[in-house]
Structure formats: C-alpha cells, structure tokens
Amino acid sequence: MVLLLHTPPTFIPRATVTVGVNMSTAHPDTMNHRKKTSRKRVLTLTEYRRLAEFRYQLRRFLRFSEEHARLRGMEPQQHQSLLAVKGLPEGMEPTIANLAERMQLAHHSMVELVDRITEKGLATRTRSSEDRRNTWVKLTPKGEKMLTGISVLTYAELQTRFIELLDSLQQVIG
C-alpha cells in the first residue's frame, strides 16, 4: 500500500534545481553533440515526496534481491551478472562489452566481475572465433541453478511489490 502525504496548499516549499549534463563524466548515450543542456526546474514538496516514495519502493525490491543473493553465497553484482548473461535481449551476444553496458559498469570492472563468477564455477569465458578481441560469457549448469534459485524468489517478490512500485512511479510521472 502506498501512502501519499498531503501538504496543505497554503504552504508548498519549492526548490530550484538546475538540470544538466556534465560532459566530462556523462555516459555516451546522454551526450547530445557535446552540447551542455541546462534548464531550470522547480520541484514542489509533493514532487519530492513522490520521488522519495518511488525510490523507497524500488530500494525495497532491490534489497530483497540482494539479501537472497547473499544467502546463497553470492554478491549481488554476481547475481546481476548471471541475470544479465541469461536475460540479454534476443540477438545480443554475451560479450564483456555488452554485459558491461547492461550492468552499467566500466569494461575493466565487468572483466573483474566475470573473473569472480568464473572462479566460483558459475560461468565460463571463451574467445570469439570471429573476433579474438571479444570474450563471450556462458553460464555453467551450476550458474544456471544458482540463478534460477534466486530469480524465482525475486520474480515472485516483484510480482508482489509491483503494485507499490507502479503506484509510486505513476505518482512521479503523473
């Protein structure tokens, strides 16, 4: 159940926020022809509360998933990497570069993460025969079993929490 707090219309504090992109740290997808965009936006207390509620509901789900990964002896990012390998969009190859993008990690960080899951016997890596620069990642039967055990629980939790998440998102986007 989502509780929305009501602020009397006589007092609604506002904050001015400058929204922009710092081009030195921006992800390439957010860059718009190397031009910094900036606009003024005023948020109401109600909007802050809606945003905070959405963040809270999202965090509750993520915490559930993280705890269940740890209960199975795996770090949350290791579970997420297994899920990224298994759940890639159709036609997308399980390369380190693609997985790094899906996980929003730097390439070298994804390499380290793949090192850890291969050391645990959850995945294997092979060089592409077509392009030796590409490394493909594949789940082992042990990795498949581990992923299934955690994902069944998190999928059920998402279905349970979906209403709260959806309600809070609806409040944010109007």
Domain extent, residue 149, equals: 40-173
Residue 22 lies inside a defined structural domain of this protein:
no
pLDDT tens column, 4-15: 433 333 333 444
Res. 73: pLDDT tops 70: yes
Instruction: Answer yes or no: is 5 within a domain.
Output: no
CATH number at residue 53: 1.10.10.10
Asked, for residue 35, whether it belongs to a domain, the answer is no
**Segment 125-150, tens digit of pLDDT:** 999 888 888 899 999 999 999 999 99
Q: Kindly tell me if the per-residue pLDDT of 50 is higher than 70.
A: yes
**120 found inside a domain:** yes
| Four-residue CA torsion sign, 154, 156, 159, 161 | negative
Name every residue whose Cβ is closer than 8 Å to that of residue 161 and which is 6 or more positions away in sequence.
57, 60, 61, 64
Q: Could you tell me if residue 28 is inside a domain? A: no
Mean pLDDT of 82-105: 97
Whether residue 30 lies inside any domain: the answer is: no
Q: What is the pTM of this model?
A: 0.73
Please report, as a single letter, which amino acid is at residue 8.
P
CA angle 60, 63, 68 (to 5 degrees): 130
Could you give the number of structural domains in the chain?
Answer: 1
| Torsion sign, CA atoms 113, 114, 119, 122 | positive
In-domain check, residue 59:
yes
Mean predicted lDDT score pLDDT of the chain: 83
Q: Helix count (H) and strand count (E) of the chain?
A: 5, 4
Asked whether residue 66 is assigned to any structural domain, the reply reads yes
Q: What is the pLDDT of residue 15?
A: 44
